[in-house]
Amino acid sequence: MTASAFSFRTVPHIHAGAGAARQLARLAAPLIGSRKRVFLVTDQGVRKAGLIDAATASLEEAGLQVEIYDRVVADPPKSVVLEAEDKARGFGAEVVLGLGGGSSMDTAKVVALLLGSSQTLDDMYGVNNATGPRLPLILIPTTAGTGSEVTPISVLTVGESTKMGINAPALYADLAVLDAELTYGLPRAVTAATGIDAMVHAIEAYTSKIEKNPVSDALALAGLKKLHGAIETACRDGSDRQAREDMLLGALLAGQAFANAPVGAVHALAYPLGGVFHVPHGLSNSLMLPPVLRYNASAAEPLYAELASHLGLHASTDGLVTEMERIADSVGIETRLTQVGVSHNDLPRLAEEAMEVKRLLVNNPREMTLEAAQACYEAVL
Ligand SMILES: [Zn+2]
């Protein structure tokens, strides 16, 4: 490839609108066709909050049969995916609907693949190993963060704490539906952490070393601006429709960006916090953002300055990082590792595990070393 050549992929059909879940059968009709059996993947919290009701009612009123699998947990272990696969086969699923946070959507993606192709789960891990085909796949997020509805990535937990990624174009859904009404009831802490995670997606996509391109750049800038403008309002007043719509759209734009220009060391250093200490994905990224950006500054200063200037801040790494720290304070999220149960003795292990996340570290604008990783953790202990 020449320096200016690039590829860009995304989900072919995106529909956004408050209340859109009530229209799901109509929106998905061209995709569903004459199929009758929809397998809905979610978690118990989302189900108990009534968030699947509108979508389920819409599908059932259209004469479709819906089977609900609600046992997804955060950082979904392989066993959950295999259990969901089993239930979906027993039901005779013809369409898969993932409705929930990133974990539900990630699980739904893999279930659609497992039912549609002859590959086993173990054959799918890594980049471009999952080939498909898969069952028709619809994704509806209930948090504004992961952007999983538009990424070709599923992250699963294998064994005790190892995160394994499946990353292949076959995981792009057929239809993503954004319905801000599903996010009105998100608690402030979840809104804050998932929202900052989405901002990290935009920032890391914009500085992604290998596959950054003009389309991902435009999406990262637009997504970061939406999120920056809305996050504090969404945290203050969860039912502010405009802020909730902006958060969902910002997370989607950032998701489209990092689906093509992958994230780097912030995520690589965040993963062990999830794996070892079960810190939620969004919060672990929020914690690691400032030290990693400061470490990267010598290689990425002009890009961080562009991002800062796009947000109306002082055009420098410091302008960007200071603003992200101010937002973390303002929305009341934890900012030190000791607040999430990490002690000094844990740092060498965290750094060693972070260095294993090679698929992300290669995208970081500055080479991450074991010593630097440990220093980044130390800086926010
Ligand atoms: Zn993330």
DSSP 212-275: --HHHHHHHHHHHHHHHHHHHHHHH-TT-HHHHHHHHHHHHHHHHHHHHS---HHHHHHHHHHH
Closest CA to 108 of 55, 161, 50, 181: 55
Count of C-beta atoms within a 10 Å radius of residue 273? 26
Q: 224 is written with which tokens? A: 């970061």
Distance between Cα 330 and ligand 1 center (Å): 20
Distance between Cα 357 and ligand 1 center (Å): 14
Provide the mean pLDDT of the chain. Answer: 96
For residue 1, pLDDT beyond 50: no
Distance between Cα 26 and ligand 1 center (Å): 31
If you compute the radius of gyration of the chain from its CA atoms, what whole number of angstroms results?
20
Residue type present at position 78: K
Distance between Cα 288 and ligand 1 center (Å): 11
Check if the beta carbon of residue 16 is closer than 8 Å to that of residue 241: no
Q: What is the pLDDT of residues 298-346, one digit of tens each?
A: 999 999 999 999 999 999 999 999 999 999 999 999 999 999 999 999 9
d(Cα 255, Cα 261) in Å, to the nearest integer? Answer: 10
Distance between Cα 130 and ligand 1 center (Å): 21
Q: What is the pLDDT of residues 218-247, one digit of tens each?
A: 999 999 999 999 999 999 999 999 999 999
Distance between Cα 201 and ligand 1 center (Å): 6
Distance between Cα 216 and ligand 1 center (Å): 16
- pTM of this prediction exceeds 0.85: yes
